[in-house]
Amino acid sequence: MKIQLHKQTSNVTVLILAILVTGLFSFSLPNKSISSETENPGNEKIIDKKAESMPIYGNWKSYTKKDGLPSDKIYCVRVDEDRVWAGTSQGLALLENGEWKVYTEEDGLAHRGVLSIDVSPVTGDLWIATMSGLNRFSGGKFDTYTQFNSGLANDVIYSVICDGKDVWVATGGGAGVLDTYTGKWGIYTDQNAPMHEPWTYNVCAGGGKIFIAAWGGGVIEWDKSTKRFRDYTDPDGEMEIDLFADDGLVHDITTAVSYDDDILWVATYFGLSRYDGNHWKGYFDHDSGLASNFINFVKADGPVAWLCTDDGLSSFNGETWVTYKNLGTNKSGNVIIDGNSERERILKATKSISHNFTIGVDFKDDEIWVATSKGLSRGEVVGQSDVKTSKL
Domains of the chain with CATH codes: 37-391 (2.130.10.10)
Looking at per-residue confidence, does 101 or 21 come out higher? 101
Output the CA angle 340-346-349, nearest 5 degrees. Answer: 145
pLDDT band at 50 (very low <50, low <70, confident <90, very high): very low
Q: What is the pLDDT of residue 328?
A: 85
139 contact partners, CB below 8 Å, separation of at least 6? none
Distance between CA atoms of residues 372 and 23, nearest Å: 10
- Alpha helices in 18-92, H assignment, sequence order: 49-52
| pLDDT above 50 (res 27) | no
| pLDDT above 80 (res 45) | no
DSSP designation for 328:
S
| pLDDT above 50 (res 2) | no
Closest CA to 69 of 97, 36, 39, 93: 93
The strand pairing partners of 184, in sequence order, are: none
pLDDT band at 9 (very low <50, low <70, confident <90, very high): very low
Closest CA to 299 of 221, 224, 363: 363
Give the pLDDT confidence of 98-142 residue by residue, as tens digits: 999 999 999 999 999 999 999 999 999 999 999 999 999 999 999
Q: What is the pLDDT of residue 383?
A: 86
Give me the torsion for CA of 52, 58, 61, 63, rounded to 10°: 70
pLDDT band at 278 (very low <50, low <70, confident <90, very high): very high
Q: What is the pLDDT of residue 18?
A: 32
Helix (H) or strand (E) holding 325: strand 321-326
- If you average pLDDT over every residue of the chain, what do you get? 86
Output the CA angle 106-108-112, nearest 5 degrees. Answer: 70
Alpha carbon distances (Å) from 17 to 64, 89, 361: 15, 9, 14
Region for 71 from its dihedrals, namely left if φ exceeds 0, alpha if ψ lies in -120 to 50, beta otherwise: beta
